[in-house]
Amino acid sequence: MNLKILIAALGLAACGPALAADPPVAPTATPVKHPTLKSCNKEATAKQLSGKQREQFVRDCTAGKTKATPPPAASH
């Protein structure tokens, strides 16, 4: 009987780190396809583009054909 308890305790001790590990991070509901998409959209809005011109600008911007304004750096 004591041997069974000892084996069970050793088994739990060996599995402890695996049980305490952080669960994997779930993907977000709306993944960002391009890291610059947000800045490209902001720049298109600032330039007051709409319709086909806006679509083309955002496409070119996310493809790297135009320069998006980088987000302001946080100052300490």
Report pLDDT digits (tens) over 7-44: 887 776 776 666 555 666 666 666 655 557 888 888 88
Report pLDDT digits (tens) over 44-73: 899 999 999 999 998 888 887 776 555 555
List the domain boundaries for the chain.
32-70
Alpha-carbon span 24 to 26, nearest angstrom: 6
Structure confidence at residue 35 (pLDDT): 58
Give this prediction's pTM: 0.44
- pLDDT at residue 76 greater than cutoff 90: no
A 10 A CB-CB count for 39 gives 17
